[in-house]
Structure 1
Amino acid sequence: MAHDIPITDDSIRLGQFLKLSSLIDSGSDAKAAIAEGLVAVNGDVELRRGRQLRPGDTVSIGGSSARVTQA
């Protein structure tokens, strides 16, 4: 089950969201996990750290996931 993580802007970059949602501890960890194909957005592997996420998008890594919501 995905945890809801509110954002204040219209969108957020994937690398930032991974840290905000505590799915990843640091920016360097986020970069490595994305490059290794360990991160999925809406069920599809995402290799772009700068991918823009919008409310309703779900990010998964390992057995954890978080959904972008509007604050």
Structure 2
Amino acid sequence: MTVVALFVLFLPFLFSLFGQSAVAKMLCLVTSILAMLLSVEPYGAVLPWSFGALIAAVSVWERIRQRRTV
């Protein structure tokens, strides 16, 4: 597995580090690890990676929303 593939698979986790929620960070780490394990099958990593990206996006969006209203 190349470094670029690992970077893409762990991108939701890296993106979730900008959020505030520890639960979101843990969920994104779990989905990234699951995506890495399922990436041996063609398109096997799509579903866990998508869920991780969605969780990370919501976490970062909530942090931005909280800072904007304060």
TM-score, normalised via structure 1 length: 0.26
Flag the structure with higher helix content: 2
Whichever structure has more strand as a proportion of its residues is 1
- Return the index of the structure with the highest Cα Rg: 2
Say which structure, 1 or 2, has more relative contact order (CA 8 Å, 6+ apart): 1
